[in-house]
Structures are given as C-alpha cells and as structure tokens.
Amino acid sequence: MMFRLLTRTLVIGITLFFLILGSNFFIPEPANAAILKQQESPGQMLYQSRHSFRDETGKSWQVVLFKRVKNEQVNTIDLRLVGFPDQAVFIHPKGLEIITAQGRLFQAEDQFANNAPAPNVGEYNLKKILPQLSSTEQVKLNLPLKDKQHSLTLPAPIILEWKELINEENS
C-alpha cells in the first residue's frame, strides 16, 4: 500500500515537473517592437521597422517603415513595399491608398515616381499621414499594381510600432 502511494506521488510529481518545464515551449513569448537603428554617416541616423505579410491572394510582401534623421531633423518617413516573388509590378507615379478601420482615406505620395529600383518595389511618403493614424485600429493598404488590385491589412500593433518609431529619439 505504501509503495503504491509513493509510486503514485512520484509519477504525479514527475508529470507536473515536465508540464511546467514543457509549458515554456508552448506558451508564446510576447512580441516586442523591433525598431532597428543604424548610423548611416556622421550626424545621420536611420530607424526601421520591418515586417512580412501576405496579401489576400497569398503573395508575400516585405513592409519597411523607415525614418531618416540628419542633424536632428527628420528628413523622411517612408514606407517601402517589396512584393515576392517579384511578379508584382507597381504603377509609377501612383500614390498608395491607406484606409483606416473607421473609413478614413489617405493618399501617400509615390517616392519612386521617376526611378524605381525594381518593378516589384514601391515607396511612399508617410511623414504627414502617420501622425494622423490611430494606433488602436488596423489599416488597409491598396497597392497600386499593374495587374489586379491587391491589398494588405496591417494590424493595430504594427501602427503602434510605427508611432514608436516616429517618436524615437534622434540620437
């Protein structure tokens, strides 16, 4: 009888130990904002937020918001979109439509109107638009592509991260 009780207690103890130990593998870590910061030249810093998303057709997109600061002045706050595979072809010059969950519409200016580095790359000026976006609602990006209309939906935490990026210290 005593042996049975001891065996049962030992089995329960070992099971609990492995459940507690194993829970670290099954409970996801909270995502932290990953704002990259690099010095491009003396007095010039580049801040970036990079993410990958899929559009409604399954195409993969790299979404990079960056801020360039020179001599403590914000020169640019731009959003670069890169389509993969590189079958996506942006229409230049054509702005990027940004639609909030509340239905507000913004038009971001095409930064590659004259000279895009590749057909699958678009870059848009968000310097005036980003401060107007709410960090508590998702936004939809209507991509100006040559084939059919594509859109990306960005969740609110991404907008919050972008807000942190634009408020990042200039040093």
Residue predicted with more confidence, 12 or 160: 160
Predicted pLDDT at 110: 97
Predicted pLDDT at 20: 55
The structural architecture, per CATH, of the domain 35-167 is Sandwich (2.60)
143: closest CA among 103, 108, 118? 108
Q: Confidence class of residue 159 from pLDDT cuts 50, 70 and 90? A: very high
Query: E strand or H helix at 17, and its extent?
Result: helix 2-26
Predicted pLDDT at 30: 39
**Quick one: average pLDDT of 58-65?**
94
How does pLDDT run across 80-108, given as a tens digit for each residue? 999 987 778 999 999 999 999 999 999 99
Predicted pLDDT at 29: 38
Mean pLDDT, all residues of the chain: 85
How does pLDDT run across 15-38, given as a tens digit for each residue? 545 555 454 444 433 344 579 999
pTM: 0.78
CB-side neighbour CA atoms (13 Å) of 5: 2
End-to-end CA distance of the chain: 71
Q: Confidence class of residue 4 from pLDDT cuts 50, 70 and 90? A: low
Find the largest Cα–Cα distance for the chain: 86
**Quick one: average pLDDT of 57-64?**
93
* pLDDT exceeds 60 at position 146: yes
Domain boundaries, the chain: 35-167
